[in-house]
Amino acid sequence: MKYIFSLLFSITTFVSFAQNAAIDSLIQELKKSKNAENKVDILLALSQTYYAMDPDKGINYSSEALELAKRIENKSKMAAAYRWAGINYITKNEFDKQLENFNHALDLYSQINDQDGIASVLGNIGISFDDQSNYPMALEYYFKALKIYEQLNDLDGIMTNLSNIGLVYESQGELQEALIFYEKALKLSEKTGNKEGISGNLNSIGSIMLRLKRYEEAFEKNEKALELNKLSGNKEWQAKNLLSMGTIVSEKQNFNQALGYFKQALRLAEEIDSKISIAEIKCNIGYTFYRMAIIGVRNPTLQILNTGRKEYLQKSREYLQSAITISERISNHEILQPSYFYMSKTEELLENLPNALYCSRKASSLNDSLFNMERDKKITQAKMQYDFDKKVAAANALQEKKDAVALKELGRQKLLRNTFIGGFSLTLLFAGVFFTQRNKIKVSKRRSDELLLNILPAEVAEELKAKGSAEAKLIDDVTVLFTDFKGFTQLSEKLSPKELVGEINTCFSGFDNIMQKYGVEKIKTIGDAYMAAGGLPTPNKTHAEDVVKAALEIQAFMRRHKEEREAAGQLYFEIRIGVHTGPVVAGIVGIKKFAYDIWGDTVNTASRMESSGSVGKVNISETTYNLVKDIFSCEYRGEVEAKGKGVMKMYFVS
């Protein structure tokens, strides 16, 4: 969870609930004032007051302030007018106009050597780049501002930019680095007694601790921040603290306590009519009731509300539907996607399958949209730097462009002349070879298509041919299979290279045929490991059954192969097989020798099912077991330690 306190500090104001009264008072003062400098100050104050409420009005007031400041030739106030115009354009998300105004302000502050003004504008430019996800440029400007504030010994300025730098690192997923800057900022805000700074940095540190799953520390930071936010009357931040605290205790399955925190947070969010907070909190409440329905049935000893599973699911549906309605109204896909996802799971358990399918498709579509938005952010980040450099170089390149145009025209005239002379003879030549080449092209195209289908799923291959690229997709339910040969290294030392490769090829070719039989997609081989997945690239409902059937047939294939090689007095491989079900991201990697691949925790868990299994056995996770228990006979192994995953319930399929 991110907080915007650093942005507010950087532009030196916080939106107050008494804004209307302040605006009325400023307008009355403006009407009465006779002094030009005083009028400029009032206009700037109005621009500052309006930036979060109505940035268009804020821009109008900063424009009036600029014209008046120019008339009295006051560069300091002209710079301030440009700066506040830029800040209002931040609210409007008009990047070019932000930079244009900030650069004017920076130039004027530099002319009068106002270091404090320079530092404040550098910080604002950092925010502009930060909002565009151009993190390298954002860091460059934040560090420039930080350096000046350190020279001025301005502790609030130092604290603000340390917080902003931490926010950039957090946005990039560099959590430990972000934590370093947040903790430095917290110490400074405590030193200066800046209560908003203390609560804001506690919020940020709590957010990092939550993401690092350091729950005790996360709870402590949010609890401290909550007390400060109560004193300041900031209900929005109180709601965020309570939401985080509810999330933390929910992770420990203290559902009653979690719901208590969530409902306190919801009441505060409704009091200030924060639609985004209301939707986020309701999504969390809905998810909590869903978890209570699932976990409560598996473990009745948990201290949860005294009600039935169906009632939990109905409450889950109620809150998730409300979250969906609000999120759609405010077009917030980041809340809408998980709300639809958990609604699909809830409806499935309530046996409302048509709605479950509808919600699942909506969640998948929204996830693709979020993935594309993230991809577009990265593209924008690279493009922005390119555009910036291009504008700087435009003036110097103008003459070169004219020369290039003239040279191109000369070349075109020569080409026309040469084309006219050689055109007739070339036409005769092309006519002679046309029919021969056409047949060769057809044969080559057929071979290329066959090769492409051999390395990529048909759906992905068609997308690649049509668009030149294929987008990665999140697929909610996929069953992943891993196999590995026992003692491969020792056995490889006893076989010649030719025998070793031949034996692996025999096994993997057999596996390929089995995958094809059950409609399971082979992903790749890694040494002596074989990886495949069911339910992609086109999702289906039978993926778990298909993969387990394939795993059992691999088991039978390897048993027969072992008997044949034993009878011939030859060495043989023995195999472990692991299976797990969950969401994955699937797509093409690379631009040369590209391959279809899958990523995500589901893949790692499937690998752990294999390594935690036994030779000759098909070891499946609890998730897969729940999908196939009515089809196959399974033996519960108990809770087994899986490397990097902790204790997990596992089953052998017989």
Tell me the per-residue pLDDT of 282-327, one tens digit each, with 9 for 90 and over: 999 999 999 888 875 444 444 444 457 888 999 999 999 999 998 8
Per-residue pLDDT, 533: 93
Yes or no: say if 582 and 625 are a contact pair by the CB < 8 Å rule: no
DSSP state of 569: T
Question: Which domain does 616 fall in, by range?
Answer: 473-653
Q: What percent of the chain has pLDDT over 70?
A: 78
Average pLDDT of the residues of the chain: 79
d(CA 461, CA 464): 5
Per-residue pLDDT, 455: 53
Of the pLDDT bands very low, low, confident and very high (cuts 50, 70, 90), residue 212 is: confident
| Collapsed DSSP state (helix, strand, coil) of residue 370 | helix
What burial class does residue 285 get, using C-beta atoms within 10 Å of its C-beta: 0-12 exposed, 13-18 middle, 19+ buried?
buried
Q: Which residue has the higher pLDDT, 387 or 194?
A: 194
d(CA 197, CA 217): 19
DSSP state of 520: P
Regarding pTM above 0.85, the answer is: no
Does residue 311 lie in a domain region? no
Yes or no: say if 336 and 449 are a contact pair by the CB < 8 Å rule: no
Reply yes or no on whether the pLDDT at 524 is more than 80: yes
**Packing angle between helix 353-455 and helix 135-152, nearest 10 degrees?**
110
Which residues does 520 contact at the CB level (< 8 Å), separation at least 6?
Answer: 481, 514, 532, 533, 534, 546, 547, 550
Per-residue pLDDT, 354: 86
Q: Per residue in 294-333, is it b (16+ CB within 10 Å) or e — as a string?
A: eebeeeeeeebeeeeeeebbebbbebbbbbbebbbeeebe
Reply yes or no on whether the pLDDT at 331 is more than 80: no
Per-residue pLDDT, 472: 65
Q: What percent of the chain has pLDDT over 90?
A: 31
Q: Which residues pair with 579 in a beta bridge?
A: 481, 620
DSSP one-letter string for 182-204: HHHHHHHHHHHT-HHHHHHHHHH
Reply yes or no on whether the pLDDT at 535 is more than 80: yes
Residues 576-587: tens digit of each pLDDT: 999 999 988 888
| Mean pLDDT within 593-605 | 80
Does residue 596 lie in a domain region? yes
Tokens of 491: 């056995």
Q: Which residue has the higher pLDDT, 123 or 396?
A: 123
Distances (CA, A) of 575 to 153, 480, 585: 67, 16, 27
Per-residue pLDDT, 470: 56
Tokens of 95: 């990047």
What burial class does residue 404 get, using C-beta atoms within 10 Å of its C-beta: 0-12 exposed, 13-18 middle, 19+ buried?
exposed
| Mean pLDDT within 467-493 | 77
What's the structural domain count of the chain? 1
Element (H, E) at 282: helix 275-298
DSSP state of 477: E
Instruction: Give the residue among 258, 243, 253 at the shortest CA–CA distance from 303.
Output: 253
The distance from CA 142 to its chain's CA centroid, rounded to whole angstroms, is 24
Does residue 290 lie in a domain region? no
Does residue 551 lie in a domain region? yes
Question: Going by DSSP bridges, is the β-strand pair 618-621/574-589 parallel, antiparallel, or unpaired?
Answer: parallel
Q: Where residue 480 sits, what CATH number does that domain have?
A: 3.30.70.1230
Per-residue pLDDT, 567: 84
| Mean pLDDT within 320-341 | 87
Q: Which residue has the higher pLDDT, 281 or 600?
A: 281
Does residue 254 lie in a domain region? no
Of the pLDDT bands very low, low, confident and very high (cuts 50, 70, 90), residue 87 is: very high
Does residue 479 lie in a domain region? yes
Does residue 269 lie in a domain region? no
Residues 44-71: tens digit of each pLDDT: 988 888 876 788 988 999 999 999 999 9
Tokens 């929910």 belong to 250
Per-residue pLDDT, 163: 92
Of the pLDDT bands very low, low, confident and very high (cuts 50, 70, 90), residue 209 is: confident
DSSP one-letter string for 222-242: HHHHHHHHHHHT-HHHHHHHH
Asked if the peptide bond before residue 338 counts as cis, ω within 30 degrees of 0, the response is: no
Instruction: Give the residue among 179, 200, 172, 142 at the shortest CA–CA distance from 4.
Output: 200
d(CA 83, CA 34): 24
Of the pLDDT bands very low, low, confident and very high (cuts 50, 70, 90), residue 126 is: very high
Per-residue pLDDT, 590: 58
Reply yes or no on whether the pLDDT at 102 is more than 90: yes
d(CA 542, CA 547): 9
Task: State the virtual CA torsion across 641, 644, 648, 654 in degrees, nearest 10.
Answer: -80
Per-residue pLDDT, 450: 46
Does residue 557 lie in a domain region? yes
Tokens of 385: 């730097």
